[in-house]
A = this chain, B = another copy of it.
Amino acid sequence: MKDLAGRVLAGEISAAARAISLIERREGDRASLLSALYPSTGGACRIGITGPPGAGKSTLAGCLGQRFVEAGRAVGILAVDIASPFSGGALLGDRIRMQGLANDPAVFIRSMGNEGRPGGMCSAALDAIRVMEAMGKDVVLVETAGVGQTDVDVAHCVDAVVLTLVPESGDEIQLLKAGVMEIADVIALNKSDRPGATGLAAELRETVHARGEVDGWKTRIVRTVGTDGEGVAELYETLEAYSGHLKNGDRLAVLRERQIRRELRERVEGRLASRLNAALERKCLDRAVVRIHAGEDDPYNAAEGLLTET
């Protein structure tokens, strides 16, 4: 792991890919790997790209990545798919790769599923983001599969959230208002050359206006057409503006501290759950049930004993 960490820190692509695989598969001594990388992390601008399926998130992530590269930044793109195992995440990554970005040495693209295990996705995404930071990326774009809770979870791993919508999303807005819109710092109204874009833009402006400023920032709406790059420059400028806003005062520090607090809780809960499951697999539970059934123990003593064994 020490060696792997050294190779990631040296910017070796195969080492970073291997590290993210370990995180995805929850294998190996990830904690010591990530501990070794940690001092070299936290420096990138972390941008989440969320939104419903079909909104063009991959295309937009590709365009944005290209724009950051042109600005001389090293870019990591992480496609997170909580719903599917490897295949789904790979699909997302493939879509981005098709844009030719993958041939650019400044860009590292990786997709990550969760092997069908619920929970812990926020920690796993943070781990992968940190690997990308440790290998030297200045910007990490995190694309989600757009399945509700993942979008909300990803907001706890990034500095900025771009909510991607399309004119057809009109009907979903009511639904989105409840949760996902609340976490959007920037809304990309993508495929905005389609009918209904102007109406949706007006509706979104109204919603954003009603919400007002949150900590000095009012959600901005940018009309884009990802397939021909229209509006991507404005989206890039808007993100740079938001990044500047975060760096003004201690906003970024406060945000990151809140995220670390959340991350710690998730990690501790996850490890407690793992311990409990490990204990149950070790047949401790079976033995306790047998003892209780035989009248040699009771559920209260037994629970205390199981707690010690976990």
Contacts and interface: CB of A to CB of B under 8 A. Distances in A.
Q: State the copy count for this chain.
A: 2
A94 interface: no
Contacts of A253: 293
A177 to B, nearest CB: 26
Interface string A142-179: 00000000000000000000000000000000000000
B34 A272 contact: no
A82 B264 CA distance: 31
Interface stretch (A46-54, A96-104, A237-245, A297-305): A297-305
A39 interface: yes
Interface stretch (A105-113, A201-209, A221-229, A284-292): A284-292
B35 A300 contact: yes
Interface residues of A, number: 39
28 contacts: A30-B300, A31-B303, A31-B304, A34-B298, A34-B299, A34-B300, A35-B300, A38-B298, A38-B299, A39-B295, A39-B298, A256-B293, A257-B289, A260-B289, A260-B292, A260-B299, A263-B299, A264-B302, A264-B306, A265-B280, A265-B285, A267-B299, A268-B306, A268-B307, A271-B303, A271-B304, A272-B272, A272-B307
A280 B261 CA distance: 10
Interface of A: 30-32, 34-35, 38-39, 126, 253, 256-257, 260-261, 263-265, 267-269, 271-272, 276, 280, 285, 288-289, 292-293, 295, 298-304, 306-307, 310
A285 B261 contact: yes
Contact of A272 (B38, B289, B298, B310): B310
Nearest to A261: B289
Contacts of A276: 265, 268-269, 272
B302 A271 contact: no
